[in-house]
């Protein structure tokens, strides 16, 4: 899988090493484990998915991690992306709105001996202000626009990576017209970049799509 990620343009050795340390099969149902290393999203319950390895790697790469600081993840899902981030940041804070997914992710991550990931069940569009500011924020669901609370929780020089768009509300927020956006905090202002098309489930919440 690592060779395939490199061939598809992932150039960060730090990110590739982190992915190499996380067994993706631990985060999918047993019936799907034969597909764990295919470059495809897989169902994990609650109409949610574990993202394809390439998008996990790409979003992590856009955070430009140096192994230090705190990261915030919105959308714990299976816990796979949080586990990858645990090798890229000193502490990871992960928010999920489905209690069943959060509990299962916690169990999986702890079983792997990872102790620097912290979990919260809440509306992720608010972020997790208690531990802000963050050097990196990654959102594993698409929003109609970048949620202001997440921008406010970025450290100076911090990076927020989020899919934006979808063309509808609730479940219909999912769609092909999403763009992967990176927001970089620069003192009192921010710089916004676009990094290609993507496809994610919708971010449901106060600053996302209304469910």
Residues forming the active site: 51
Q: Could you give the CA distance from residue 102 to residue 120 in angstroms, rounded to a whole number?
A: 8
Q: Could you give the CA distance from residue 36 to residue 166 in angstroms, rounded to a whole number?
A: 27
């Amino acid at each position: 899988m690592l060779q395939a990620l490199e061939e598809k343009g992932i150039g960060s050795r730090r990110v590739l090493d982190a992915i190499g340390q996380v067994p993706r099969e631990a985060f999918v149902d047993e019936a799907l484990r034969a597909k764990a290393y295919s470059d495809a999203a897989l169902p994990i319950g609650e109409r949610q998915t574990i993202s394809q390895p390439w998008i996990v790697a790409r979003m992590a790469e856009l955070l430009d991690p140096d192994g230090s600081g705190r990261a915030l993840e919105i959308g714990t899902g299976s816990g796979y992306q949080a586990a990858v981030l645990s090798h890229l940041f000193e502490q990871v804070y992960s928010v999920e709105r489905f209690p069943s997914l959060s509990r299962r992710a916690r169990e999986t991550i702890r079983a792997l001996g990872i102790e620097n990931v912290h979990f919260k069940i809440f509306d992720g569009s608010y972020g997790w202000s208690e531990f802000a500011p963050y050097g990196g924020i990654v959102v594993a669901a698409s929003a109609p626009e970048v949620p202001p609370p997440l921008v406010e929780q970025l450290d100076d020089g911090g990076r927020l990576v989020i899919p934006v768009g979808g063309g509808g509300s609730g479940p219909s927020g999912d769609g092909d017209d999403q763009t992967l956006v990176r927001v970089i905090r620069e003192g009192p202002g921010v710089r916004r970049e676009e990094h290609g098309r993507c496809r994610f489930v919708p971010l449901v919440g106060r600053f996302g799509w209304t469910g």
